[in-house]
Chains A and B, each alone.
Chain A
């Protein structure tokens, strides 16, 4: 069981390997990636920022909750910050469990809670050179004053 905020590319295969054990019949790897269009606009990249200490604490809480709800300690989640390009992994969640049902449920729980609670923000960069903060529903919220 582990969670981390990272600044370097996420090694997704290493995360899957980290949770894989002989007692587990199911290993799931969820990878969230930067996509090239959001809300109808062409995106060239995203800058992720966070209230880092609180984000680390919330992620640790979420993983602990998932362990209790779904009875597995084999959960690892990493979220990356900084400048990410199209296709880069921003978040990865590896879950392993003796049974696939609980593995899917635990993986879903972690990503949904992360998106609701973990204080991380994204500033989208567009083809026309502009940048905007994105809210939880994927919509643009404000023009940054810089």
Chain B
């Protein structure tokens, strides 16, 4: 089975109107080659699930500027004024979720769990419409799993089976997103043969990865 495909083939798997998770945090590396092609192919009406709206001209910021996004589910949009402008103008629907709750809802979806209890958001508007439970005298909100049709994540070194290693702070939401989407595409900075990545260095196990996109984004 060959998981390595071209970015052009990969992006055809991302359809108008789908729900897509995109790894990354603020301005740190994102799957820019795939995002480039999504913009070029004029993919529309996306529901994007990501930590934040990135910065203008980078990653998710580009999708927002090119009006590819109908709805954004994120924890923060403050670094991208265009996202705020579109939200205030009613052109972009934004659902804000506490960052830890966002990560854990995604993890639940990928881990076969029906939800979790969290103290985050008690006494705030985050409570609205949610069930409350008391466990050992402490109040919690029930938060439900959050899944997606597709996830695109950025890997530093990826073997051809789909094992992923991340440098620095680039891992952020990648693991939980790879678990929670039906179709997972990793954009690799470097692709290596199985065995070149030591088993103990694998941060996202290959089982969560469907396709790997590489050659075009080696920086050359």
Chain A bound to chain B: no
